[in-house]
Amino acid sequence: MIPISQVKFGPEEEELVLSTLRSGMVAQGPLVKQFEDMFAEKSGVKHAIAVNNGTTSLVACIQALRLNPGDEVITSPFTFIATLNAILEAGAVAVFADINEDDFNLDPKSVQSRITSRTKAIMPVHLYGQMADMESISKIANQHSLRVIEDSAQSHFASQKGNKAGSFDLGSFSFYATKNLTTGEGGIITTNDDEIAEQLRIMRNQGMKQRYQYVMAGHNYRMTDLQAALVIPQLTRYDNTVSARTKNADFYSQELAGIPGLVTPQVVPERTHVWHQYTLRITKESGITRQFLSEQLTDAGIGSGFYYPKLVFEYETYQNRPDVIISDCPVAEKVVTEVISIPVHPYVSSKDREHIVKTIKNALDVK
Ligand SMILES: *Cc1c(COP(=O)(O)O)cnc(C)c1O
């Protein structure tokens, strides 16, 4: 079986984790600090604050903005459920804008149309490894004095015109097991805002500014040195990881080009893609359903996934909530029925790639 995602660790991780175990310093300590410094530098920001997962990371970002009840956050409905859950946990109102077909991310024009007097923040999601159009979204945010929280859980170090994901205002990342970088569970927040960074560090540690000096009702959002030990070597190798993913993606895009009803993912000009997922669209014109393709892939020993099978607001539990404002998102509503992701991770071999392409062409009856 070629899995849709695969995690492997090397001797560098084993060594650093083992030396951390032997040091006895297994909670937040010097390795977390080292990881934060490395991550901030690679992101081109002043501060990185490591936390225990990518969902609390989003929650902490919203909490740091000190919103009032009824304040609105505009986000994408085409995302992992954590994006919406974080907004609701932080006590804000979720408002949805539509997405673009080319990058699967928030459409700035649609964002603009959803702004009200209660809007306080925009939370774009950089899906599959490519950033949303942050240049336009930042411009809109500045015009309306809104904050921006980039949900970059899937797009570590992707960029637009050289500006990295998470470098615009507040950035939130995840290191869950399936992400491009992993600590099992983990997250990090990036920002250039000194005051927000300080608030986040205090909030993460029970609201404690100095020993037993509590300045707010905080939380325990801390990452551990064991987790940092697992990810520091991956961070050192990260550019190679992305190269391997890109090689697989380029092969698929070349081999699967020009097939009616099969849309390969686009890399928008002036952006880089870190290929967290390689996501195809199966449109009506193909004559098959994505379910059929997924079954053909399974029969051929190939993992695949629908990320995501529904828009987040389509689940019944979010209907009829006053803090979830559902509106028409025609592009997202169509695209969500068409997407299927295939294995693009660094452990897909060239033989695997060929097998995957052949299986897809067979399913579509293409020579
Ligand atoms: C994974 C993910 C999250 C949540 O991260 P966790 O570390 O799993 O809590 C949030 N948003 C998106 C888009 C994700 O893919």
The number of residues making up the chain comes to 367
Which of 73, 89, 151 for a ligand 1 pocket mutation test, highest count of atoms within 8 Å of Cβ?
Answer: 151
What Rg value do the Cα atoms of the chain yield, rounded? 21
Quick one: what percent of the chain has pLDDT higher than 70? 100
- Which has the closest alpha carbon to 357: 248, 256, 247, 245? 256
Determine the pLDDT at residue 27.
Answer: 97
Instruction: Find out whether the beta carbon of 84 lies less than 6 Å from any atom of ligand 1.
Output: no
CB atoms within 10 A of CB 317: 8
Going by pLDDT thresholds of 50, 70 and 90, the confidence category of residue 353 is: very high
Instruction: Find out whether the beta carbon of 188 lies less than 6 Å from any atom of ligand 1.
Output: no
Determine the pLDDT at residue 126.
Answer: 98
Residue 367: pLDDT over 90? no
Instruction: Find out whether the beta carbon of 55 lies less than 6 Å from any atom of ligand 1.
Output: yes
Determine the pLDDT at residue 54.
Answer: 98
Of all protein residues, the one whose alpha carbon is nearest to atom 6 of ligand 1 is 54
- State the alpha helices, DSSP H only, in 263-340: 290-299, 330-335
CB atoms within 10 A of CB 193: 16
Q: Are 20 and 216 in contact (CB under 8 A)?
A: no
Determine the pLDDT at residue 63.
Answer: 97
Instruction: Find out whether the beta carbon of 105 lies less than 6 Å from any atom of ligand 1.
Output: no
Instruction: Find out whether the beta carbon of 36 lies less than 6 Å from any atom of ligand 1.
Output: no
Instruction: Find out whether the beta carbon of 82 lies less than 6 Å from any atom of ligand 1.
Output: yes
* pLDDT tens for each residue of 164-181: 999 999 999 999 999 999
pTM of the model: 0.98
Instruction: Find out whether the beta carbon of 129 lies less than 6 Å from any atom of ligand 1.
Output: no
Tell me the CA–centroid distance for residue 260 and ligand 1, in Å: 33
Residue 210: exposure state from Cβ atoms within 10 A (0-12, 13-18, ≥19): exposed
Task: Give the pLDDT mean for 113-121.
Answer: 98
Which numbered atom of ligand 1 lies nearest the CA of 178?
Answer: 1
Determine the pLDDT at residue 284.
Answer: 96
Q: What is the distance between the terminal CA atoms of the chain, rounded to a whole angstrom?
A: 24
Average pLDDT over all residues of the chain = 97
Rounded Cα gap, residues 171 and 169, in angstroms: 7
Tell me the CA–centroid distance for residue 288 and ligand 1, in Å: 31
* pLDDT tens for each residue of 271-302: 999 999 999 999 999 999 999 999 999 999 99
Going by pLDDT thresholds of 50, 70 and 90, the confidence category of residue 182 is: very high
Instruction: Find out whether the beta carbon of 171 lies less than 6 Å from any atom of ligand 1.
Output: no
Task: Give the pLDDT mean for 99-127.
Answer: 98
Tell me the CA–centroid distance for residue 162 and ligand 1, in Å: 24
